[in-house]
């Protein structure tokens, strides 16, 4: 990718801002994005495809006479036409709660989102590494349906507001994954593992992927049952974020203001167990979720969203802040950048050993299909294990887990001292999750 | 356009290559609560070259047709690097210079923004004010008009216009910290006017959100469940339809054995069909995204597995006829095996007979969502009722059912005669391609011994 692939749009974007202003826009924002990626895929245990993609796009937001309009496209010579279309839409009344974008702040954090180290990842290496993962699975067991894949990507974006803010980002990274399907009669086991990152560093770890899949190959071949009832569940770091979604949805300033958040009257209150602290961290280098500013040019801040069980903040983008008469917090869509749980003081393995009877969740199916905004979840345990006396005894099939997350997080919850380097989350135990299974 | 696309493929040395290019234009409006929150429009173009050489595939996406010759070259070169076997693609009757223009009863492109917004505002007033206790609302309206151009090295060419309009209405009710919601959605590929005259539907949505606040949770455990046509249609799609997609089968001997034609799947009354040529529904096209004509495919006939859904490659490798099920959500994505209009066919019973056979059970109505992982499925009803002594009793919330499709199809012990196919605003997701317009349908069906989530 060229060092400044969007440079040719800078002039047209500046002129488009002028055009908007000349036609009565009191506020206007344009973002442009250019990205490219290359990927390879293995199917049925052999190399099957090599794909390349390359594309650009832009989006425009205008405010005129207190009303807003939006337009998007990917044809550079249509930019001015799309500004006119966005302006035309303002007649029909999407309400804007602000009339102008703010002037740029004095300073912004600038987390690194690109590392040249990714250039060292050649297609030959990706092919060899995928092949290694495939060969590992083949050596473990005959008859598995094996997949693997790897990808590198790079993108640039440019944001300009009528407040004079200009933000540029250059990002990129890699990912690698593998998985298998084991079929025996009508019984199927799916397992897979992946890693991704911006820097080519220790995260790129084939041994980790192998261990994860080997675990499921070993324990997935035995089945176990458990009587219907409420049990502690052991949640791996990759799934912890999903269990925090009722909180991230509930602290949206927009939901709070519109009355659809169950946390709307909980600010400053101890609404969760006292060992729950959740950090919003937009500033760590080489993390895809990091950013120094939001879409209006408001600086982002690292902060605790929940501290020792007490809800600390609702989140406001520029428009919602005006609607709710609150200060903007630097959150596009009123959503947090991260929801990192503060680790506890017990090692994850010791935590697992402490469970007398419970479930180790590896994969859930249909997690978001319930009334998650309310905290309710009810889903299939696609891959889960029964734990007895601290040991994984076998796979639990045809079972559902259900409960209310906002309630569960008030109760007995525990977090491990070790943190997964990919998600930066600890392992967790939630107590009192309802388990119903067909084979009990 | 035809010459331009075919020309670009001329010097291609792959065993097979195709170009799809798409121009798309659309608009959308959304309400959340009292305010119209978004008015947006979009206009874009782009495409994808896909090439196959020695069994290896490569795709290359692009925004501008100016880049096409280079992208064709790239895709052909990469496919050759990947492939190490014999290319095997089915022969199909291919379109030659076919143009499928959309015939819209009333074209949404001729309806003013003002009129669209006025209609949504009227619905929003009903959602917010027709029932005491409604806290907020959400409405989403979208219309898109896509023109898809296709050419392949087999010399085929087509252009198809693909219009779609969607409407989604939702109400939220709140009591203290408890929030419940209800919704309905609809979609059409033929007429703007399908979004009109739903005042009663909006009022019902508002009423149901409030009623659900006081509804008890569905009891967990193994239950007899009657699915309404909307929910049963999602079941047919999620639990069984995805398993019929031959890309999950063709290179996996164990899966092929499991899904072998002739396998007994359920009672003789059970028939499941996928039909991409049915009427002019949102899942209907003349040809699929490889140019294969769509058709009616019986997946289960009289309780026995009767067919699979195919792309050119899966049909070629399984030695079956292509079915016209290779579809992509947009021209930037490769076509993969997908469903179109999938339904359980009408059975012999009346709806009343079905209920009469249930002393204690659950009536699950309208789908909230669903997900599948081959033989495992899970999906949730938007709402439902307790059935006692064959009578529909109190409203229930949070109804989620799960199971193994093979066991569950066998557990269907009653199929009514009231087949109904639904066109909703959502779509199907697979391999990162979402939402693909599909429909699903069914009559009321009754299933014994289903696992229902919740407190036991
Ligand atoms: Zn689907």
Which candidate, A265, A267, A335, A345, places its Cα nearest to that of A306? A267
Is A43 near chain B, with CB under 8 Å? Answer: yes
Query: Is the distance from CB of A27 to CB of A162 less than 8 angstroms?
Result: yes
* Residue at token pair 């990626």: A37
Q: Give the three-state DSSP class for B186.
A: strand
What residues have CB less than 8 Å from A349, skipping those under 6 apart?
none
Chain B contact set for A51 (CB, 8 A): 58-60, 78, 334
What are A27's strand-pairing partners?
A63
To which H or E segment does residue A78 belong? none
**Measured between alpha carbons, how far is residue A112 from residues A137, A199, A295, A440 in Å?**
36, 10, 18, 51
Checking if the pLDDT of B453 tops 80, the result is no
Chain A contact set for B264 (CB, 8 A): none
Is B179 near chain A, with CB under 8 Å? Answer: yes
d(CA A25, CA A364): 47
pLDDT of res. A366: 82
To which H or E segment does residue A46 belong? strand A46-64
Check B58 against A52: CB less than 8 A apart. Answer: yes
Q: Which of residues 220-239 of B touch A (CB under 8 A)?
A: 220-222
Q: Which of B63, B81, B374 sits opposite A188 (nearest CB)?
A: B374
Checking if the pLDDT of A19 tops 80, the result is yes
pLDDT of res. A321: 98
Mean pLDDT, rounded, for B345-364: 96
Which candidate, B195, B196, B129, B37, places its Cα nearest to that of A93? B37
**Cis-peptide, bond into residue B435, ω within 30° of zero:** yes
Checking if the pLDDT of B356 tops 90, the result is yes
pLDDT of res. A71: 97
Which candidate, B400, B402, B449, B447, places its Cα nearest to that of B219? B400
What residues have CB less than 8 Å from B365, skipping those under 6 apart?
B228, B230, B231, B381, B382, B383, B384, B385
Q: Which of residues 111-150 of B touch A (CB under 8 A)?
A: 113-114, 117, 135-136
Mean pLDDT score of chain B? 94
Q: Which of residues 367-386 of B touch A (CB under 8 A)?
A: 368-380
Mean pLDDT, rounded, for A224-247: 96
d(CA B99, CA B157): 9
d(CA A382, CA A387): 16
d(CA B60, CA B51): 9
* Residue at token pair 């978004």: B38
A143-171 confidence digits (pLDDT tens): 999 999 999 999 999 999 999 999 999 99
Give the mutation candidate from B179, B249, B426 for the A interface (greatest A CB count, under 10 A): B179
CA closest to A45 among chain B residues: B251
Chain A contact set for B373 (CB, 8 A): 188, 190, 365, 382
Mean pLDDT score of chain A? 95
Check B456 against A53: CB less than 8 A apart. Answer: no
Checking if the pLDDT of B447 tops 60, the result is yes
Is B266 near chain A, with CB under 8 Å? Answer: no
Query: Is the distance from CB of A418 to CB of B416 less than 8 angstroms?
Result: no
d(CA A243, CA B300): 39
Angle at A401 between CA A399 and CA A405, to 5 degrees: 175
Task: Measure in Å the smallest separation between the Cα of B89 and chain A Cα atoms.
Answer: 15
Q: The whole model's pTM is what?
A: 0.92
Mean pLDDT, rounded, for B54-65: 96
Longest C-alpha distance within chain B, in Å?
71
Check A181 against B63: CB less than 8 A apart. Answer: no
Task: Measure in Å the smallest separation between the Cα of A400 and chain B Cα atoms.
Answer: 6
Is A36 near chain B, with CB under 8 Å? Answer: no
Chain A contact set for B33 (CB, 8 A): 258-259
Checking if the pLDDT of A35 tops 70, the result is yes
Is B214 near chain A, with CB under 8 Å? Answer: no
Checking if the pLDDT of B374 tops 80, the result is no
Check B43 against A78: CB less than 8 A apart. Answer: yes
Is A214 near chain B, with CB under 8 Å? Answer: no
Chain A contact set for B234 (CB, 8 A): none
Query: Is the distance from CB of A62 to CB of A126 less than 8 angstroms?
Result: no
In order of start, what are the domains of chain A with their CATH numbers? 7-216 (3.30.2290.10), 222-241+344-437 (no CATH), 243-338 (no CATH)
Q: Give the three-state DSSP class for A52.
A: strand
Checking if the pLDDT of A440 tops 60, the result is no
Chain A contact set for B400 (CB, 8 A): 366, 369-370, 378-379, 400, 402
Q: What is the CA radius of gyration of chain B?
A: 23
**Spacing, Cα B428 to ligand 1 middle (Å):** 4
Chain B contact set for A54 (CB, 8 A): 60-63
**Spacing, Cα B84 to ligand 1 middle (Å):** 32
Checking if the pLDDT of B456 tops 70, the result is no
CA closest to A88 among chain B residues: B113
B175-211 confidence digits (pLDDT tens): 877 888 999 999 999 999 999 999 999 999 999 999 9
Give the N- to C-terminal CA distance of chain B in Å, as an integer.
62
Task: Measure in Å the smallest separation between the Cα of A109 and chain B Cα atoms.
Answer: 30
Q: Which of B40, B371, B452 sits opposite A70 (nearest CB)?
A: B40
**Burial grade of B418 (CB within 10 A; 0-12, 13-18, 19 or more):** middle
Give the mutation candidate from B453, B454, B455 for the A interface (greatest A CB count, under 10 A): B453
**Six-digit token string for A13:** 């974007």
d(CA B352, CA B392): 11
Chain B contact set for A145 (CB, 8 A): 251-252, 254-255
d(CA A50, CA B62): 15
What are B403's strand-pairing partners?
B377
Chain A contact set for B380 (CB, 8 A): 366, 369-370, 378
Q: Please report the number of interchain residue pairs, chain A to chain B, with beta-carbon separation below 8 angstroms.
A: 256
d(CA A100, CA A94): 16
**Spacing, Cα B10 to ligand 1 middle (Å):** 36
d(CA B286, CA B153): 20
Mean pLDDT, rounded, for A39-53: 96
Check A436 against B454: CB less than 8 A apart. Answer: yes
pLDDT of res. A300: 98
Check A369 against B376: CB less than 8 A apart. Answer: no
* Ranges A53-62, A304-313, A393-402, A417-426: which has the least confidence: A393-402
d(CA A97, CA A68): 9
Pairing mode of beta strands B272-275, B296-301:
antiparallel
What is the pLDDT confidence band of residue A244, given thresholds at 50, 70 and 90?
Answer: very high
Query: Is the distance from CB of B212 to CB of B374 less than 8 angstroms?
Result: no
Which candidate, B90, B40, B65, places its Cα nearest to that of B322? B90
Angle at B381 between CA B380 and CA B382, to 5 degrees: 120
Mean pLDDT, rounded, for B26-32: 95
* Residue at token pair 């974020």: A241
Q: Which of A82, A95, A258 sits opposite B136 (nearest CB)?
A: A258
Is B398 near chain A, with CB under 8 Å? Answer: yes
Q: DSSP letters along A332-343, please? A: GGG--S--EEPP
Which candidate, A228, A194, A218, A196, places its Cα nearest to that of A381? A228
Share of residues in chain B with pLDDT > 70 (%): 99
A349-398 confidence digits (pLDDT tens): 999 999 999 999 999 988 877 778 889 888 889 999 999 999 999 999 88
Check A92 against B39: CB less than 8 A apart. Answer: yes
B204-247 confidence digits (pLDDT tens): 999 999 999 999 988 888 999 999 999 999 999 988 999 999 99
* Residue at token pair 């307790």: B386
Distance of alpha carbon A180 from the chain centroid: 24
Query: Is the distance from CB of B90 to CB of B315 less than 8 angstroms?
Result: yes
In A65-144, which ranges are E strands?
67-73, 94-95
DSSP A271: -
Q: List b or e across A125-158, with b for residues whose CB sees 16 or more CB atoms inside 10 angstroms.
A: ebbebbeebbebbeeeeeebbbbbbbbbbbbbbb
Q: Which of A40, A71, A145 sits opposite B40 (nearest CB)?
A: A71
d(CA A272, CA A251): 14
d(CA A306, CA A278): 5
**Six-digit token string for A108:** 């912004």
Q: Give the three-state DSSP class for B204.
A: helix
Task: Measure in Å the smallest separation between the Cα of B277 and chain A Cα atoms.
Answer: 31
A83-127 confidence digits (pLDDT tens): 999 999 999 878 999 999 999 999 999 999 999 999 999 999 999
DSSP B239: I
Query: Is the distance from CB of B349 to CB of B414 less than 8 angstroms?
Result: yes
pLDDT of res. A173: 97
In order of start, what are the domains of chain B with their CATH numbers? 2-213 (3.30.2290.10), 221-452 (no CATH)
pLDDT of res. B349: 96
Helix segments in A23-52, DSSP class H: none
Give the N- to C-terminal CA distance of chain A in Å, as an integer.
56
pLDDT of res. B454: 65
B334-352 confidence digits (pLDDT tens): 999 999 999 999 999 999 9
Counting other chains too, the contacts that A229-232 makes at CB distance below 8 Å and 24 or more residues apart are A229/A434, A229/A435, A229/B456, A230/A432, A230/A433, A230/A434, A230/A435, A231/A357, A231/A358, A231/A359, A231/A432, A231/A433, A231/A435, A232/A355, A232/A358, A232/A359, A232/A412, A232/A429, A232/A430, A232/A431, A232/A432, A232/A433
Q: Could you tell me if residue B449 is left (phi over 0), alpha (psi between -120 and 50 degrees) or otherwise beta?
A: left
Q: DSSP letters along B382-421, please? A: EEEEEEETTEEEEEEB-EEEEEEHHHHHHTEEEEBS--EE
d(CA B368, CA B364): 11
B402-427 confidence digits (pLDDT tens): 888 999 999 999 999 999 999 999 89
Chain A contact set for B334 (CB, 8 A): 51
**Six-digit token string for A438:** 């067909």
Q: Which of A145, A187, A378 sits opposite B380 (nearest CB)?
A: A378
Distance of alpha carbon B389 from the chain centroid: 35
């Amino acid at each position: 990718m060229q060092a400044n692939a969007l440079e040719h749009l800078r002039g047209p974007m500046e002129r488009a801002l002028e055009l908007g202003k000349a036609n009565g826009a009191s506020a206007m924002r344009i973002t442009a994005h250019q990205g490219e990626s290359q990927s390879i895929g293995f199917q049925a245990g052999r190399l099957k495809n090599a794909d390349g993609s390359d594309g650009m796009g832009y989006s425009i937001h205008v405010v005129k006479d207190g009303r807003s309009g939006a337009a998007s496209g990917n044809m550079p010579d249509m930019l001015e036409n799309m500004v006119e279309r966005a302006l035309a839409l303002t007649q029909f009344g999407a309400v804007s709660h602000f009339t102008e974008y703010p002037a740029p702040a004095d300073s912004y954090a600038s987390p690194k989102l690109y590392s040249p180290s990714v250039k060292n990842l050649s297609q030959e290496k990706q092919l060899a590494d995928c092949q290694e993962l495939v060969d590992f699975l083949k050596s473990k067991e005959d008859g598995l349906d094996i997949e693997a894949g790897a990808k590198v990507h790079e993108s640039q974006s440019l944001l300009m507001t009528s407040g004079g803010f200009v933000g540029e980002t250059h990002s990129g990274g890699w990912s690698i994954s593998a998985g298998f399907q084991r079929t025996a009669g009508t019984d199927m086991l799916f397992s897979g593992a992946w890693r991704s990152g911006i820097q080519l560093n220790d995260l790129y770890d084939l041994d980790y992927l192998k261990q994860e899949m080997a675990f499921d190959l070993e324990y997935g071949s035995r089945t176990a049952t458990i009587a219907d009832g409420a049990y502690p569940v052991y949640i791996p770091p990759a799934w912890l974020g999903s269990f925090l979604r009722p909180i991230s949805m509930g602290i949206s300033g927009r939901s709070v203001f519109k009355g659809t958040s169950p946390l709307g009257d909980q600010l400053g209150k101890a609404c969760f167990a006292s060992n729950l602290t959740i950090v919003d961290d937009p500033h760590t280098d080489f993390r895809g979720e990091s950013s120094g500013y939001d879409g209006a040019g408001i600086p982002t801040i690292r902060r605790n969203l929940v501290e020792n069980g007490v809800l600390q903040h609702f989140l406001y983008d520029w428009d919602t802040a005006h609607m709710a008469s609150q200060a903007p917090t630097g959150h596009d869509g009123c959503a947090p950048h991260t929801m990192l749980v503060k680790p506890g003081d017990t090692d994850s393995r010791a935590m697992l050993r402490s469970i007398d009877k419970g479930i180790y969740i590896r994969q859930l199916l249909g997690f978001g299909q319930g009334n998650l905004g309310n905290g309710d979840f009810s889903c299939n345990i696609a891959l889960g294990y029964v734990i007895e006396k601290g040991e994984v005894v076998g796979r639990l099939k045809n079972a559902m887990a259900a409960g209310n997350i906002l309630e569960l997080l008030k109760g007995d919850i525990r977090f491990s001292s070790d943190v997964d380097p990919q998600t930066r989350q600890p392992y967790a135990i939630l107590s009192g999750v309802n388990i119903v299974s067909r084979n009990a | 356009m035809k010459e331009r696309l075919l020309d670009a493929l001329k010097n291609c040395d792959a065993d097979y290559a195709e170009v799809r290019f798409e121009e798309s234009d659309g608009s959308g409006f959304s309400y959340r609560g009292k305010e119209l929150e978004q008015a947006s429009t979009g206009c874009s173009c782009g495409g994808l070259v896909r090439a196959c050489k020695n069994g290896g595939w490569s795709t290359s996406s692009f925004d501008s047709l100016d880049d096409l010759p280079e992208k064709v070259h790239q895709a052909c070169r990469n496919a050759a690097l990947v492939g190490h076997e014999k290319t095997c693609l089915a022969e199909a009757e291919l379109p030659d210079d076919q143009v499928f223009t959309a015939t819209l009863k009333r074209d949404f492109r001729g309806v003013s923004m003002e009129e669209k917004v006025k209609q949504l505002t009227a619905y929003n007033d009903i959602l917010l004010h027709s029932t005491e206790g409604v806290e907020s609302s959400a409405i989403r309206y979208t219309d898109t008009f896509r023109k898809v151009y296709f050419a392949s090295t087999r010399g085929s060419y087509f252009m198809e216009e693909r219009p779609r309009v969607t409407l989604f209405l939702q109400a939220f009710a709140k009591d203290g910290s408890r929030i419940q919601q209800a919704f309905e959605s609809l979609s059409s590929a033929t007429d703007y006017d399908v979004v009109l005259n739903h005042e009663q539907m909006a009022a019902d949505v508002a009423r149901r959100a409030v009623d659900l606040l006081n509804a008890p949770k569905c009891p967990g455990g193994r239950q007899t469940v009657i699915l309404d046509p909307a929910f049963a249609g999602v079941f047919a799609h999620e639990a069984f339809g995805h398993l019929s997609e031959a890309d999950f089968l063709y290179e996996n001997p164990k899966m092929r054995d499991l899904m072998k034609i002739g396998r007994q799947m359920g009672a003789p009354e059970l028939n499941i069909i996928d039909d991409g040529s049915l009427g002019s529904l949102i899942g209907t096209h003349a040809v699929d995204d490889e140019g294969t004509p769509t058709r009616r495919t019986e997946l289960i006939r009289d309780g026995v597995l009767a067919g699979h859904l195919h792309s050119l490659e899966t049909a070629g490798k399984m030695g079956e006829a292509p079915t016209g099920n290779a579809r992509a959500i947009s021209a930037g994505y490769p076509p993969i095996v997908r469903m179109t209009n999938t339904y359980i066919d009408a059975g012999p019973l009346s709806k009343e007979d079905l209920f009469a056979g249930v002393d204690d059970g659950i009536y699950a109505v309208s789908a909230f969502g669903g997900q599948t992982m081959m033989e495992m499925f899970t999906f949730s009803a938007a709402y439902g009722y307790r059935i006692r002594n064959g009578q529909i009793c109190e409203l229930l919330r949070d109804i989620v059912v799960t199971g193994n499709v093979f066991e569950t199809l066998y557990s269907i012990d009653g199929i009514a005669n009231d087949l109904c196919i639904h066109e909703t605003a959502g779509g199907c997701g697979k391999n990162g391609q979402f939402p693909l317009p599909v429909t699903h349908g069914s009559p009321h069906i009754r299933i014994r011994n289903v696992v229902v989530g919740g407190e036991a």
